[in-house]
C-alpha cells in the first residue's frame, strides 16, 4: 500500500480523498492555487504546495507542476478527483511513465472511454445501442448547422472532453446550433484545454440513469447498482438518488451487465460510471462513460456500504476487488443535493464572496465511514468565514441523506436543508426545497426536462408554497417573545420605559404584491422554553431551547420536531425577523397593537427605476461587449458576455432601446450590480 499520495484537485473532492487516506494511514499532499491558500483541503492535508495563480489553466491544469510536486514530496500515487485533469489521457500516462500510480483507470482506458467520440465508436463496435449523431470532431459553426439539419432538431452539441455540464448546449434551430457551437468550443477550450465538439440527437423526455462500475487489474469488474440523475438544470445535475424510482430489477440487471461488458472491453481498472439515456418503455442507450469518480458517488456508498475512494486506492495499488457481484448490497434509499453558490431568484447567477456564516446540519454519517449509515452527511471543501472564488465551479457542498425508503429519505433531506445555514452569499437551498416538495418529484414521475418544464420562466418565491404559512408567522412571534423576555430582565432600565412583555402582538409581513399584511397574534408563556401562539384562531405550542442569536432553531411544535432559521436585522428592515422554513422565507415585524396602527401610516418608498441600465448580475470577467454607443437593439439581442465559475453567461436586452454610454470595458472584473452600459 502507498505511504503517501498527492491529490491533484481542490474543494470538497480533495477533502473527501484526504478523509479516506487518513483512515488508511496514508500521508497526503495537497496542491493549491493562490485563490485557495486558505482553503479547507490545504489545512486538512499533511503537506500543501502552491501551484500558481488563481485561473485553473495556470494552476490545477498544469500537469508539469503537479508531476514535479509529486516527485519533490515523494508521493507514490496521484488521485485526480473529478474535473481538471481527471480524464486527461496524457496526464494519466505521464504519471505512469514517471513511475507513480494513477488512482484511476489506465491511460488507454481513458483514451477509449473518456473521449466521448471514441467511446461512441467503441460502443457501436461492441453492438451497444447508441443515440444517432455525428461522432467526429466538427470544423466550425457552419458545418455544425449542416450536421444538425441532417440529424434533425433538437440536437445536443457537446465537447468531446466535456463533463460537469461544461461545453454543452441543446439547439432547436439553426441559429441556436450556430451560436451553441461557438459557446461550447470556448467553454471546452477554457475548461479542458480541448476544443473538439460533436453533435447527437437530443432524446426528448429522457431519464438520465448511470451505472457505477468498479474494476481491478486482475480482470474483475462489478457494477454497484444505479444512480438516478434526471433532475438537472441546464445539464447540471441538481439532485441525485440511488436507487432509481423508475427502473425494474430486470432493467437494472441488463444495464449493469452491459456496463460491465463495456468496461471489460477496455480493461477498465478503477471506479467509473457508464451513463445511459432511458426511455419511457425502459429501453436504454449508452451515452458516455466517465472514467473517474463522480460527484454523486456518496449515494452509492450509502446503499452499498462501500467506500469507493478506498476501493480506488486499493485497486491502484494492485489489490483484487474484495467482493463479487453477488455480494453487492442495495440497502435503503439515498439522496444527494448539490448546494451551489448561485442565486435561484436571479436566474441562478453565480454568487461569490465570503461565507459570513456556514453551519451544516448535524451530521450522523461521515466520509470514509461506512459503519454509520441511515443519517445525514455533508461533503464540503469550505469552512465558516471562507471564500467562494469566481475561478472555479459553484458547488459549496453536497448534502447526502440515507433513509429506509424513498419517502423517509425525502423527509430527512427536507429537514436537513432547513438546518443548513449559509450567509454572505446566495445558495440554491430554496430551489432544492421546492423540488423536494413537488408532487411529481415525490411520486417519482419526472425526466431530465422536469426543471425546464416546471421552472422554465425562472424560479420565484411563489414557487415554494408553504403547507402552513401561519406557522412562519407564529414562529416569528414565539422568537420575538423570547427576545422580549431577555430584554425585560436587563437591569438598570429607566422607570416607565422598561421592556414590557405583554401577550398581544401584530405580526406585519410583506406579501407577494409588496403590500403589508397584518396578523393579530396572542403569545402565552407556559414556561421558560415553551409558549403557545394563536394566529387566526390556530394554536401552535412551541418548545425550544435554541440559543438566542443562533440562526438555526430546533424544537417541537404541537409535539412534532421542526428545524427552521430565524434571524434579526438581516433583511431590508433591520427591525424585522427573517424566518425560513421548507424553502419559504418571510420578513416579519412583530409589533404591539398600537405600533402596528402607526406602522400603517408609514409612507411607501418606491424602488428606483433601473431599466435604463444594464447591470452586472454577478461578479465576473467581462468577456465581450457586443454593442456600440448609438446602436439600436431589440429585446432578446445579445448585449454582453460575463464569465464566472467556468461558465459563459450571455446578457440579453429585455426591451427595445438605443445604447448610450458604455461604462465597462472588455477584460474588466465586474462587481455585482456594476453598470455595464446605459440606454438613452
pLDDT at 73: 98
Structural domain boundaries in the chain: 4-103, 132-201, 207-455, 469-488+500-599, 613-679
Percent of the chain with pLDDT over 90: 71
Q: Which of 76, 200, 275, 288 is catalytic?
A: 288
pLDDT of residue 6: 98
Q: Are 36 and 42 in contact (CB under 8 A)?
A: yes
Collapse the DSSP code of 299 into the 3-class scheme (helix H, G, I; strand E, B; otherwise coil) and give the result: helix
Q: pTM of the predicted model, to two decimals?
A: 0.84
- pLDDT at residue 7 greater than cutoff 90: yes
Asked if pLDDT for residue 556 goes beyond 90, the answer is yes
**Closest by Cα among 420, 422, 458 to 344:** 458
How many other CB atoms are found less than 10 A from the CB of residue 669?
A: 13
pLDDT over 80 (residue 246): yes
pLDDT higher than 70, residue 484 = yes
What are the pLDDT digits (tens) for 202-245? 877 799 999 999 999 999 999 999 999 999 998 899 999 999 99
According to DSSP, the β-strands at 4-7 and 657-662 are unpaired
- At residue 513, the pLDDT reads 61
Q: What percent of the chain has pLDDT over 70?
A: 98
CA distances from 474 to 178, 629, 679 (A): 54, 54, 46
Bridge partners, residue 555, by sequence: 562
CATH 3.40.50.20 assigned to 4-103 = yes
Per-residue model confidence (pLDDT) at position 588 = 94
Q: Which residue matches cell numbers 467511446?
A: 119
384-399 tens-digit pLDDT: 999 888 888 889 999 9
Averaged over 557-576, what is the pLDDT?
A: 88
> Per residue, what are the HEC states of 83-102?
CCCCCCHHHHHHHHHCCCEE
CATH architecture assigned to 469-488+500-599? 2-Layer Sandwich (3.30)
What is the H or E stretch that residue 439 is in?
helix 439-443
Q: What is the mean pLDDT of residues 440-446?
A: 96
> How far lies 47's CA from each of 73, 367, 378, 383, 468, in Å?
8, 20, 24, 19, 51
675-679 β-sheet, strand order = 613-615, 675-679, 657-662, 632-633
* Percent helix, strand and coil across the chain, each to the nearest 5: 30, 35, 40
Looking at residue 111, the DSSP 8-state letter turns out to be I
Mean pLDDT (whole number) for 11-28: 98
pLDDT digits (tens, 9 = 90+) for 485-539: 877 777 787 777 666 677 899 999 977 666 789 999 999 989 889 999 999 889 9
Task: Report the chain's mean pLDDT, rounded to a whole number.
Answer: 92
Instruction: Examine the pLDDT at 128 and tell me if it is beyond 90.
Output: no
Give the model's pLDDT for residue 432. Answer: 97
**Per-residue pLDDT at 107:** 95
Instruction: Specify the pLDDT at position 189.
Output: 86
Is 288 in the active site? yes
pLDDT at 349 over 90: no
Q: Which residues pair with 585 in a beta bridge?
A: 580
Query: For residue 125, what pLDDT is reported?
Result: 79
- Work out the average pLDDT over 532-554: 94
For range 553-581, the mean pLDDT: 90
- Where does 132-201 sit in CATH, by number? 3.30.1490.20
* Cα 258 from Cα 254, distance rounded (Å): 6
- The neighbour count for residue 443, using CB atoms within 10 Å, is 10
Whether the per-residue pLDDT at 633 is higher than 90: the answer is: yes
CA dist 617 → 77, 277, 543, 670 (Å): 42, 34, 41, 9
Nearest to 64 by CA among 106, 41, 95: 95
- Report the distance separating Cα 294 and Cα 276, nearest Å: 15
Residue 514 is predicted with a pLDDT of 66
- Give the C-alpha separation, 388 to 377, whole Å: 21
Out of 3.90.120.10, 3.30.420.40, 3.30.470.20, 3.90.226.10, select the CATH number for domain 207-455.
3.30.470.20
Closest-CA residue to 13 (of 116, 85, 105, 69) = 85
Taking domain 613-679, whether its CATH number is 1.10.3720.10 is answered by no
Amino acid at each position: 500500500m502507498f505511504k503517501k499520495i498527492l491529490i491533484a484537485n481542490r474543494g470538497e473532492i480533495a477533502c473527501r480523498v484526504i478523509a479516506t487516506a487518513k483512515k488508511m494511514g496514508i500521508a497526503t499532499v495537497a496542491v493549491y492555487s493562490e485563490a485557495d491558500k486558505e482553503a479547507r483541503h490545504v489545512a486538512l492535508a499533511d503537506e500543501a504546495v502552491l501551484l500558481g495563480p488563481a485561473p485553473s489553466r495556470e494552476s490545477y491544469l498544469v500537469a508539469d507542476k503537479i508531476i514535479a510536486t509529486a516527485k519533490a514530496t515523494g508521493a507514490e500515487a496521484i488521485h485526480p478527483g473529478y474535473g481538471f485533469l481527471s480524464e486527461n489521457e496524457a496526464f494519466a500516462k505521464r504519471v505512469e511513465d514517471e513511475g507513480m500510480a494513477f488512482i484511476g483507470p489506465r491511460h488507454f482506458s481513458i483514451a477509449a472511454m473518456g473521449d466521448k467520440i471514441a467511446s461512441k465508436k467503441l460502443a457501436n463496435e461492441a453492438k451497444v445501442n447508441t443515440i444517432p449523431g455525428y461522432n467526429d470532431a466538427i470544423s466550425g459553426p457552419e458545418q455544425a448547422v449542416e450536421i444538425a439539419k441532417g440529424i434533425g432538431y433538437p440536437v445536443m452539441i457537446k465537447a468531446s472532453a466535456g463533463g460537469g455540464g461544461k461545453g454543452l448546449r441543446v439547439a432547436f434551430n439553426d441559429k441556436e446550433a450556430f451560436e451553441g457551437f461557438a459557446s461550447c468550443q470556448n467553454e471546452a477550450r477554457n475548461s479542458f484545454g480541448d476544443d473538439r465538439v460533436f453533435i447527437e440527437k437530443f432524446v426528448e423526455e429522457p431519464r438520465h440513469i448511470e451505472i457505477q462500475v468498479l474494476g481491478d487489474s486482475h480482470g474483475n469488474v462489478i457494477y454497484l447498482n444505479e444512480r438516478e440523475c434526471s433532475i438537472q438544470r441546464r445539464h447540471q445535475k441538481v439532485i441525485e438518488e440511488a436507487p432509481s424510482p423508475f427502473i425494474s430489477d430486470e432493467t437494472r440487471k441488463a444495464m449493469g451487465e452491459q456496463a460491465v461488458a463495456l468496461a471489460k472491453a477496455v480493461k477498465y481498472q478503477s471506479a467509473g460510471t457508464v451513463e445511459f439515456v432511458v426511455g419511457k418503455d425502459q429501453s436504454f442507450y449508452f451515452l458516455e462513460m466517465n472514467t473517474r469518480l463522480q460527484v454523486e458517488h456518496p449515494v452509492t456508498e450509502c446503499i452499498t456500504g462501500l467506500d469507493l475512494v478506498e476501493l480506488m486506492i486499493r485497486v491502484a495499488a494492485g489489490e483484487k476487488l474484495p467482493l463479487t457481484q453477488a455480494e453487492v448490497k442495495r440497502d435503503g434509499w439515498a439522496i444527494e443535493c448539490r448546494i451551489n453558490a448561485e442565486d435561484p431568484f436571479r436566474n441562478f447567477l453565480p454568487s461569490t464572496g465570503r461565507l459570513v456564516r456556514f453551519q451544516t446540519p448535524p451530521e450522523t454519517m461521515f466520509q470514509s465511514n461506512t459503519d454509520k449509515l441511515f443519517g445525514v452527511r455533508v461533503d464540503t471543501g469550505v469552512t465558516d468565514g471562507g471564500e467562494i472564488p469566481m475561478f472555479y465551479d459553484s458547488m459549496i457542498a453536497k448534502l447526502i441523506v440515507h433513509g429506509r425508503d424513498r419517502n423517509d429519505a425525502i423527509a430527512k433531506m427536507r429537514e436537513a436543508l432547513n438546518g443548513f445555514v449559509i450567509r454572505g452569499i446566495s445558495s440554491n437551498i430554496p430551489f432544492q426545497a421546492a423540488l423536494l416538495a413537488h408532487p411529481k418529484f415525490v411520486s417519482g414521475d419526472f425526466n431530465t426536462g422536469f426543471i425546464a418544464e416546471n421552472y422554465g420562466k425562472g424560479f420565484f418565491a411563489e414557487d415554494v408554497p408553504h403547507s402552513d404559512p401561519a406557522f412562519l408567522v407564529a414562529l416569528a412571534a414565539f422568537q420575538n417573545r423570547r427576545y422580549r423576555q431577555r430584554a425585560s430582565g436587563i437591569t438598570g432600565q429607566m422607570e416607565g420605559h422598561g421592556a414590557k412583555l405583554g401577550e398581544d402582538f401584530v405580526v406585519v409581513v410583506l406579501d407577494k404584491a409588496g403590500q403589508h399584511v397584518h396578523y393579530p397574534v396572542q403569545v402565552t408563556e407556559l414556561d421558560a422554553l415553551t409558549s403557545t401562539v394563536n394566529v387566526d384562531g390556530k394554536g401552535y405550542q412551541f418548545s425550544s431551547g435554541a440559543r438566542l442569536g443562533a440562526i438555526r432553531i430546533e424544537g417541537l411544535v404541537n409535539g412534532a420536531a421542526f428545524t427552521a432559521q430565524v434571524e434579526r436585522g438581516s433583511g431590508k428592515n433591520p427591525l424585522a425577523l427573517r424566518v425560513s422554513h421548507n424553502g419559504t422565507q418571510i420578513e416579519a415585524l412583530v409589533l404591539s397593537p398600537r405600533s402596528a396602527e402607526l406602522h400603517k401610516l408609514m409612507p411607501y418608498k418606491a424602488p428606483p427605476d433601473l431599466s435604463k441600465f444594464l447591470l452586472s448580475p454577478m461578479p465576473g470577467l467581462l468577456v465581450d461587449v457586443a454593442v456600440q454607443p448609438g446602436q439600436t437593439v431589440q429585446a432578446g439581442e445579445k448585449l454582453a458576455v460575463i464569465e464566472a465559475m467556468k461558465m459563459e453567461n450571455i446578457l440579453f436586452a429585455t426591451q427595445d432601446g438605443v445604447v448610450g454610454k458604455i461604462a465597462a470595458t472588455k477584460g474588466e472584473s465586474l462587481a455585482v450590480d456594476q453598470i455595464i452600459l446605459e440606454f438613452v
